[in-house]
Structure formats: C-alpha cells, structure tokens
Amino acid sequence: MINRLTNLLNRFYYFVFDRLILYPMLYLLKNRCNIHFMNLGYQPAANDEIISCAINKFYKADTAEKAHASLYEKTLSLCPKYPVLQNISILEVGCGHGGGVRWIERSHPEIKSIRGIDVIVTDCLGGKVTNGDAHNLPFAENTFDLIINVESSHLYRDEQQFFRECCRVLRPGGTLCWADLRYSDQVESLIEKASNANLSLVKLKDITDQVVEAINLTASEYDAQLAKAPRIIQLFRNSIRTTYCAPGTESHKRLTERKKIYTAACWTARKLTKS
C-alpha cells in the first residue's frame, strides 16, 4: 500500500513538474539552452532504411538533434502514404517551440502546409505555431489530412477528448500519427479510447528498444548542457535528468525493465461523408 501511494505521488510530481515548470522554463530559455526538440529520440533499427536515408540527408554525425528528428520521422513513417506526403496539410498537436514543424518542412517539402499548436507557446515561426489546447483544437472540422502528436499526450487530462478532437479536425480518412510512452498496462486502454473516438487503428509498434538506444546518446549531451546551465535550471537537476530518462534514473530503469514502453501508432478517421 505504501509503495503504491509513493508511486502515485511520484507520478503526480513529475506530471506537475513537466507541465508547469520544465516545459515553460525551457521555452523561455530555448535560445540559451540550444534545445529545439523535446522528446526522448529514436535510433533507427536495421529495417528502417527509408527513415535512415531521410535523416542522413541532413545529419551526418550521431547527435541528440538527429535522434529527436528520427523520432518524428519514425512516427510519420506509420502513415500509409509515407515517404511521399504529397500535397497534404499537417497539424502538429503539442509542438513545443516548433522543432518538429521545422523538421517536417525541411524533410518533406512536398507537403501542402503545416501548422502547430501548443498550450505553452504563444506564437512562433511566423504564425505557423500558435497557442492552443489539445482538448479543444482551434480549427474547423475536416481541416487537415494528417495530425502528428509526439511525446505530448501523456500530459493531457483527457486522452479520449484529444482523440475526439483529432477525428473532428481530420478529413474523412485522414491520419493521426502518434508516439508516446505509457505504463505497459495502459496501452490497451489508450487504443480503446481512440477507437471510441472513431479512429481506426492502422499500425501499432513497440519502439522501446530504439528509444532507449537514443537516450544513451541524447542523455550524455544533455548532462553536459545541464552542467553549464543557469543556476535556476541546475536547482532542478535531478528532476530534469529524470524527465529525459538519463541512465541511472528511475525513469530510465522503467523503460529498460519494460514497466513503461514507448509506442508509435497510426489511426485513420472514421467519418461519414455528406452526400
């Protein structure tokens, strides 16, 4: 009973820390900290040749930024139209300060348009990224062909409402490409919530091993940055290292022991077309 209560309090602390302290702080200090993405990253597997090819056009060395961009590319790769996303309109929900939006524009110039919303960001990238709530997307019905959501939904208060909103703003047959980490016993419930929101599952992949490989690279870079960070950030050193799952933290251990798993999925919107 005590262990269960301790785990619940620990989860609550990091939920509040990530949502109300870390992400707003990184947004305010983004230029000084030189952080463009806020995800754990992905190390392409041997069968990810298309993803590796797309990434290696822009990154030669194995860096944290390359790993973060690779997670976006892996998530997009679940879309049936990948790798050519010709003339489609994209929305990123929970886009932070726009690293993913910039990456998709860069790697897929064939798209028609891309927008991003985030609950913390107010406006950046010339209006392409604006403030918005995942539970109440500020767009009309049938606006987008594809929504991408990377490592953001674990912070939402109502996952099913998020899925409903995705279905609402997607065109009929439109695609939601999603990636995030969950406790292993939560994945089935998440899939059910998406189904109840009229989203049909196309693909579901466990990418935990490749994410852990990426963490082993990204964490060393961020540990070095953290050592040089402003004092206000260093006050939260242990909590920050837990957030990026640095080796030696409990969050890293949960992934390596598979108490938590990292999943990528693709759904299509089930919608009746008006005759």
Residue 38's pLDDT is 83
Helix (H, G, I), strand (E, B) or coil at 206: strand
pLDDT of res. 23? 55
Task: Check residue 160 and report its DSSP letter.
Answer: H
Three-state DSSP at 171 gives strand
From residue 16, alpha-carbon distances to 12, 24, 29, 37, 261 in Å are 6, 12, 19, 20, 21
Tell me, rounded to whole angstroms, the distance of Cα 79 from its chain centroid: 15
- pLDDT of the residue at 96: 86
CATH number of 23-269: 3.40.50.150
Write b or e for each residue in 182-200: b if 16 or more Cβ atoms lie within 10 A of its Cβ, otherwise e: beeeebeebbebbeebbbe
Q: How many residues in the chain? A: 275
| The pLDDT value given to residue 122 | 65
pLDDT at 143: 98
Predicted structure pTM score: 0.87
Each residue of 168-178: pLDDT tens digit?
999 999 999 99
Q: What is the pLDDT along the chain (275 residues), one digit of tens a residue?
A: 544 444 444 444 444 445 555 555 555 555 555 667 889 999 999 999 999 999 999 998 889 999 999 999 999 999 999 999 999 999 999 998 889 999 999 999 999 999 999 987 766 777 889 989 999 999 999 999 999 999 999 989 999 999 999 999 999 999 999 999 999 999 999 999 999 999 999 999 999 999 999 999 899 988 888 888 778 778 788 888 888 899 999 999 999 999 999 999 999 999 765 54
- Residue 162, sorted as left (phi over 0), alpha (psi -120 to 50) or beta, turns out to be alpha
pLDDT of residue 85: 97
